[in-house]
Amino acid sequence: MTAQLDAGRSNQKKRTRTAIVEAARELIATGAEVTMPAIARTALVSEATAYRYFPDLPSLISEALAGSWPPPAEALRPVADSPDPVVRVSYACEFLLRGILARQGAVRAMIAATVTRPETAKTRPGIRFGLIDHALEPLRDTLGATNPDALTQLERDLAVVVSAEALFSLTDLCGLTPDEAVASAVHTARTLTEAAVRATGGERAK
């Protein structure tokens, strides 16, 4: 009887945890603000119960977002055959920023959490650096071979632009619409990459 009771409690805990994660995913998919009280209401549990399963909102969001972004190679499949790093970076930038817009409530919550707890920044889910690295693959044998420091600097420059922080600065501080903000970030990413291609002394591949 005791074993049956323990098994029943264990199964109930699993169901409750699953319900909380699914509620978080449901709320994230709306793009709306993501908070622990809102998730708890959607999961039909108390906020205190949600906190018993997850110590904070970022840990819950991280689990809810696990696997939601495709691998970089899959994300860039439409430009996989292009040898032009400018085309590839442009596509990567737009892909990432459109994905952020679709999940912006969760992304904003994660950014807010990592501002106050910078040591957790590396645990933020996402594929920004993987996308940039994959998009710049055509430059590995040119700029990477002749001037690896320049390639590293380009990656850092793009990390500033191809980012949620840049997107929200353009929408929140500059007053751009989401489409305008994405276009502006893509333009900047293209400009940075074009400058790097010129630095190799070559022309963009067609």
Mean pLDDT of 160-189: 97
Closest CA to 34 of 116, 91, 80, 103: 103
Whether 206 maps to a domain, the answer reads no
What φ, ψ does residue 162 adopt, rounded to 5°?
-85, 75
Residues 120 and 150 in one domain: yes
Last residue of a domain, one of 65, 87, 103: 65
Same domain, 39 and 126: no
Is residue 52 in a domain? yes
- pTM value is 0.85
- For residue 171, pLDDT beyond 60: yes
Task: Quote the domain boundaries for residue 25.
Answer: 2-65
CA 70 to chain centre: 10
- In this structure, what token pair is assigned to residue 118? 């910078």
User: How do residues 57-80 score in pLDDT, each as one tens digit?
Assistant: 999 999 999 888 999 999 999 999
DSSP one-letter string for 3-41: HHHHHHHHHHHHHHHHHHHHHHHHHHHHTS---HHHHHH
Domain shared by 172 and 188, yes or no: yes
- Indicate the number of domains in the chain: 2
- CATH value at residue 61: 1.10.10
Question: For residue 205, is it within any domain?
Answer: no
Whether residues 28 and 127 share a domain: the answer is no
